[in-house]
Structure 1
Amino acid sequence: MRLILLAVGRLKAGPERELCARYLDRSAKGGRALGLSGPDVTEIGESAARRPEDRMAEEGAALLAALPDAGAVIALDPRGAEMTSEQIAADLAALRDRGSRSLSFVIGGADGLSEAVRGRADRLIAFGRATFPHQLVRVMLAEQIYRATTILAGHPYHKA
């Protein structure tokens, strides 16, 4: 199953980008033995529209256009369910085992996700109720993808 990280905005050079790349590289290496490929990263440009609802609509249309035709979608949304790392790993394994061709993790822009994107998602998850910068959310998601691969592989990293 192909893993995809789809996000509005671009990570600029710096520590967040380096840390994100490190976790994604580790995920790719560990995921191969688990029947996972990627994670591939697709960045969508931020909308320049003036009104938040217009920005969300434009970014949402671009996100939907970038999603594979078939495959599961998990979107990060503050109204989503809070999940443990074990639950994320179990979801990933269940989708893989059911033959899903891909799993896309979607991070919206500063204004959030459009209703169209929320409606397309198979699951909405949140990393708590606090607000985090998008750069850190991307790092946190990359780490959780890596952690999921270590859980599925029985690796001790998860216990650290």
Structure 2
Amino acid sequence: MNIDIICVGKVKERYLQDAIKEYAKRLSRFCKLNIIEVADEKTPENASEAVNAQIKEKEGERIAKHIKTNAFVIALAIEGKMLTSEQLAAHLEDWGLHGVSHIQLIIGGSLGLDPAILKRANMLLSFSKMTFPHQLMRVILLEQIYRAFKINAHEPYHK
């Protein structure tokens, strides 16, 4: 299975970079992982809703350039569906059984995702009603994907 993580911005913190590398290494036995970073827009302090919408649109255009027509697209969004780790694992297994060979997960920038990206997504996924830094979300997402593969392989990591 091919899994792309399309995300806005770069991870600057070394400890997060190290965690991302570790999970990417662990995932290499289960899937072909590709992390695609697109540039983020500078968000001015106290920006208007119109400016925020323009920023999300620009970031959305950059994201859209990497979305494959044949991919199953999952956008991370606070209004998305919340799943347990076991449910995510079941979805991954089910998608694979039904011919899905390319999954693209999208993490937006600090303002979230452009409505056009949310509309294109096959699924909206939420990890919590809380807001997380998008750099940290990469680590959380990779850990949960790894956990899902371990669950499906009936290996003990997930307990």
**TM-score normalised per structure 2:** 0.91
**Runs of 4+ in structure 1 displaced over 3 angstroms?**
none
Give the structure 2 partner of residue 105 of structure 1. 105
Give the structure 2 partner of residue 39 of structure 1. 33
Normalized per residue, the structure richer in helix is 1
Q: 5+ residue gaps in structure 2? A: 45-50
Farther-moved stretch of structure 1 (110-119 vs 7-16): 7-16
Q: 5+ residue gaps in structure 1? A: 32-36
Q: Aligned pair count?
A: 153
Residues in 2 aligned to 1:15 and 1:148: alpha-carbon distance in whole angstroms: 23
Residues in 2 aligned to 1:148 and 1:28: alpha-carbon distance in whole angstroms: 14
Give the structure 2 partner of residue 139 of structure 1. 139
Q: Does 1:12 align with 2:6?
A: no
Residues in 2 aligned to 1:133 and 1:49: alpha-carbon distance in whole angstroms: 15
Residues in 1 aligned to 2:14 and 2:42: alpha-carbon distance in whole angstroms: 24
Residues in 2 aligned to 1:55 and 1:150: alpha-carbon distance in whole angstroms: 38
TM-aligned CA deviation for residue 101 of structure 1: 2.8
Aligned residue for 1:66, secondary structure, equals coil
Residues in 1 aligned to 2:137 and 2:4: alpha-carbon distance in whole angstroms: 15
Q: Report the RMSD for the aligned CA atoms in angstroms.
A: 1.3
TM-aligned CA deviation for residue 49 of structure 1: 6.8
TM-aligned CA deviation for residue 13 of structure 1: 4.8
Residues in 1 aligned to 2:4 and 2:89: alpha-carbon distance in whole angstroms: 15
TM-aligned CA deviation for residue 47 of structure 1: 2.1
Aligned residue for 2:17, secondary structure, equals helix
Give the structure 2 partner of residue 23 of structure 1. 23
